Structure 1
Amino acid sequence: MAQVYASMQTSSVRPDVVTYSIIVNGLCKAGRVGDALRMLDGMSRQDSDIRPDVVTLNTVVDGLCKSGQVQEAVAFVEQRMRSVHGCPPNTVTYNCLIDAFCRVGNVSMAYELVGRMENKGVAQNIVTLNTIVGGLCRAGRAGAALEFFREKRTVWTEAKGNAVTYSTLVGAFLHSNNIGMAMALFHEMMTEGHSPDAIMYFTMISGLTQAGRLEDACSMASSLKKAGFKLDAKAYNILIAGFCRKKRLHEAYELLQEMKEVGLQPDVCTYNTLLSGSCKAGDFTAVDELLGKMIDDGCQPSVVTFGTLVHGYCKAGKIDEALRILRSMDESGIHPSTVIYNTLIDFLGKSGDADLAIQLFDEMKEKHVPANVTTFNALLKGLRDKNMPEKAFELMDQMREERCFPDYVTVDVLMEWLPVIGETERLKRFMQQSEHTAAKRGVRDRISAQ
């Protein structure tokens, strides 16, 4: 672009304001705002017969804002637009600045700019309204956003609110768990003649499901279909998860069947959710059947699938089945995770089989599965219950060697146990050494961060 401009200058072709605008826009998009500003300076020389228009100047304002130079953009508007270039800022100018301040969380300054617009007689539009509403909602101030909307829609002739305004407000109130207000705004939106799009319906379905309002969520899904939209796999997964959380597995399985009937393929998330719900309900016959359907449908179980099954069988006291699931992971080519081993070690410890828990811990090392403080805590609790201090001392040494720092659970377990068996001094040494190692790591981290 610079070469084209240079060749124009050396030829008889004289660039006009449109040419300059194109070049300035290109420079700003390339992040070369400084070069764009120098281009403006050249246009503003006394011997130049070209003057930048408000579109060109707004391009620079937008470039400054998007490059993070928001204060410089304000200074440019206040000090150069009118006095140097002879162009007063317009609605687009202020909208650029307002959006930039909202995005950095400075909604107060955005408010102040709105006040300047009103004082200087610069018209506000729907972009102005939606930018402030969005900024307030992102800042967690949904109530203030609604108040702003209610106030300005009565005085701003060009900003009465649209589908974007309502979608932003509804999403914010759903996020803050104010379901009643979200529902009221959704219905107000439709009364005002703004038709919800598929994303809006999805937002409502998700929010209502998360709040446990399953009947309302299903009603919203029906409205979505009547409006000509279709539920996708993600929407079905959200509804299925909602029914599983409420232990309404019959409806969850009906939704699974509906998914297939409308031509949607259940994914691993769908099956994992249903497997988890069936495990929690203790229906392991359904678990086996569902796992078979999952494989028949060509849906490969994931590490989360195996983790769900291991946890479900452990919680039901079926440790042998949980161990069988662990062994089947090798056949499936899926590497067991730390969480899966932690689950088994924890339940084995609670069931009094500390020896097998230790075997699994050793297996973790062989398979290069990293242990964490949760792993050590589960083992220490099991060893405490079986009163196996010598093995516990080995684990304490290993924690220190591996720089696995004790948490409050570790401390509680050891403080309940070691003083009783006359090992108070060992406990003190362990805590002192752990604190010293943690302090050394903290110093090292601070030095490396400098």
Structure 2
Amino acid sequence: MLAGAVELDTVGFGVFVKAVGRKDDGLTEVLRLVDVVGRQGSRINRSVVAAMVIDGMCREGRIEGAWRALEELRLRGWKPDFVAYRIVAEEFRVAGRVEEEGSILKQKRKLGVAPRKAEYRECVLELVSNRLVTEAKEMAEAVVLGDFPIDDDVLNVLVGSVSDIDVDGAAMFCKFMMGKGRFPSTEVLVNLCENLCRSNKGDEMWEIFRVLLGKGYCKNARDYHLVVSFLGKAGKVREAYDVLKEVKRKRLEPDISSYNALMEALCRNDLLRPAKKLWDEMFTSGCCPNLHTYNILITKFTEMGESQEVQQLFDHMFQKGVAPDCATYTSFITMLCQENKYEQALEIFKKSLTQDAEVASSVLSMFILALCNQGNFKAALSVMCSVPSHVENLNSHVILLKNLIDVGEVEMAVEHLGWIRSNCSSNFQNIMNELMASLSTSASLQNVTKLIQCLHSQRLVDDADPWMKLM
């Protein structure tokens, strides 16, 4: 590029020479490059490039070299500004070398130039737009940690982009922003909190929320819900509950989503007594539970084997006009099957039949699977033979047949296939095709062979049938 007289820009050249300067004895090459570029009269922002070079050297621990670079770059007209001097001075301070720190600060006051906010803004935004997020973070750290001015939109971009690679760095930018009395955008805050949750940094999240709450960030119930939901995800249950109480003190109506977020956190941490207390508080405050609320509790109580609690919640749903979904039915029925309460499980399944055919079809598959897992094949066959014709049941038949064959109940499987051909002839071939596909990976080839022989002897398949190829 230099040989071809291609004009360089600040970001491209700055990132390159910063990388060169980080190498052992890289300063010599950096000075050679800046001399060549300087003679070309390029429109590169020299102060920003100088700061990038100095920052890179300091990050490698070569602080004496960085101090020398300050002087060499200044003599060559690259005008290190206060940001560059501050970077080196801070590294000497951290190293406990107070005398050198003082000397650099004197040079800063005498020789340095004031940084221009617009120049660093342009540099940081261009780095982010070119997906050089690490470089943008390092550049912005030099500005922010030196308490130099930086615009809100730049900080928002930094918090949002940096949180994906360095959540601690993003939190630092967010705190700097809040320290100036400004707030991150909702979108940026959500992204930061999601990354804090993934990194198990609930304490750091609460620290940020505590500042936001103290500065009046939350203006309505929706803002409070964001705080409660993320505190719940992070396992900060007590803090989330305190925020919910603040919502009530301000006479705002808590959103059901806030209650659900806290309820989910309580159940996830096995805090069932507080969960029941929160359930009572919901009704006291006039907030009615929705389907998600019921499913949170039903799922948890089924895990605990509390069938009586689940039944009460299930009945309560119907009393309040809340229709269960597939997850509700599946959780309850699976638990009842595990407890060998077949008749009760069948009654729950019948409720899904009266509610919605599509829901009943999904529930049926899980019901049959749960019965098969318990080895209750007779009950599973009985259920399949009683399913109304308007309920899609192909997958459920395949699940039952596959399980029968896997455990060696081949005769029972063949008998059921005969029933299907007699009673569901239009669906018979589709079921056979799906069953063949599932048996191609069966662990018991002997059972598959026996099945095909039985099917052939009963003329459920003929010599030209694809099934015979499995032989």
TM-score category, normalised to shorter length: 0.5 to 0.7
Rounded to whole Å, the distance in 1 between the matches of 2:241 and 2:265 is: 11
1:133 equivalent among 135, 146, 159? 159
1:418 equivalent among 439, 445, 470? 445
Aligned residue runs from structure 1 range 50-449, under 5 A: 98=125, 107=133, 124-137=150-163, 139-148=164-173, 153=176, 160=180, 162-164=182-184, 167=189, 169-189=192-212, 193=215, 195-197=217-219, 198-199=221-222, 201-226=224-249, 229-333=252-356, 335-358=358-381, 360-361=383-384, 366-369=389-392, 371-372=394-395, 376-377=398-399, 379-388=401-410, 391=413, 401-402=433-434, 405-406=437-438, 411=441, 414-415=442-443, 417-419=444-446
Shift of 1:130: 0.9
Which amino acid is 2:155 matched to? L
Shift of 1:184: 2.6
Tell whether the 8 Å contact from 1:202 to 1:235 is kept in structure 2 after alignment. yes
Could you tell me which residue of structure 1 aligns to residue 59 of structure 2?
none
Identity rate of aligned residues, in percent? Answer: 19
Distance 1:265 1:404, change over 3 A: farther
Rounded to whole Å, the distance in 1 between the matches of 2:320 and 2:236 is: 31
Rounded to whole Å, the distance in 1 between the matches of 2:217 and 2:384 is: 58
Which amino acid is 2:407 matched to? D
Rounded to whole Å, the distance in 1 between the matches of 2:126 and 2:258 is: 31
Shift of 1:321: 0.9
Q: Secondary structure at the match of 1:313?
A: helix
Tell whether the 8 Å contact from 1:352 to 1:386 is kept in structure 2 after alignment. no
Rounded to whole Å, the distance in 1 between the matches of 2:310 and 2:401 is: 29
TM-score, scaled relative to structure 2? 0.54
Tell whether the 8 Å contact from 1:126 to 1:160 is kept in structure 2 after alignment. no
Shift of 1:244: 3.2
Unaligned runs of 5+ in 1: 1-89, 427-432, 437-450
Shift of 1:179: 1.0
Distance 1:110 1:258, change over 3 A: same
Tell whether the 8 Å contact from 2:352 to 2:363 is kept in structure 1 after alignment. no
Rounded to whole Å, the distance in 1 between the matches of 2:432 and 2:235 is: 45
Which amino acid is 2:170 matched to? A
Tell whether the 8 Å contact from 1:271 to 1:294 is kept in structure 2 after alignment. yes
Task: Between 277-286 and 338-347, report the one with greater CA deviation.
Answer: 277-286
Distance 1:99 1:276, change over 3 A: farther
Tell whether the 8 Å contact from 1:399 to 1:405 is kept in structure 2 after alignment. no
Distance 1:124 1:277, change over 3 A: closer
Tell whether the 8 Å contact from 2:193 to 2:230 is kept in structure 1 after alignment. no
Shift of 1:320: 1.4
Shift of 1:405: 5.0
Distance 1:343 1:225, change over 3 A: same
Shift of 1:239: 2.0
Q: Secondary structure at the match of 1:369?
A: coil
Which amino acid is 1:164 matched to? P
Distance 1:253 1:204, change over 3 A: same
Rounded to whole Å, the distance in 2 between the matches of 1:335 and 1:381 is: 23
Distance 1:243 1:375, change over 3 A: farther
Distance 1:324 1:233, change over 3 A: same
RMSD (Å) for aligned C-alpha atoms? 4.8
Tell whether the 8 Å contact from 2:398 to 2:435 is kept in structure 1 after alignment. no
Tell whether the 8 Å contact from 2:406 to 2:447 is kept in structure 1 after alignment. no
Rounded to whole Å, the distance in 2 between the matches of 1:364 and 1:248 is: 40
Rounded to whole Å, the distance in 1 between the matches of 2:400 and 2:359 is: 17
Which amino acid is 2:182 matched to? N
Distance 1:251 1:108, change over 3 A: closer
Shift of 1:232: 1.3
Q: Secondary structure at the match of 2:369?
A: helix
Q: Deviations over 1:289-337 (max 9, x none)?
A: 3333333323333444333332232232212111111122233345434
Rounded to whole Å, the distance in 1 between the matches of 2:373 and 2:325 is: 27
Rounded to whole Å, the distance in 1 between the matches of 2:275 and 2:181 is: 38
Rounded to whole Å, the distance in 2 between the matches of 1:149 and 1:352 is: 57
Tell whether the 8 Å contact from 2:317 to 2:323 is kept in structure 1 after alignment. yes
Distance 1:297 1:360, change over 3 A: closer
Task: Between 359-368 and 243-252, report the one with greater CA deviation.
Answer: 359-368
Which amino acid is 1:162 matched to? R
Rounded to whole Å, the distance in 2 between the matches of 1:216 and 1:378 is: 48
Shift of 1:129: 1.0
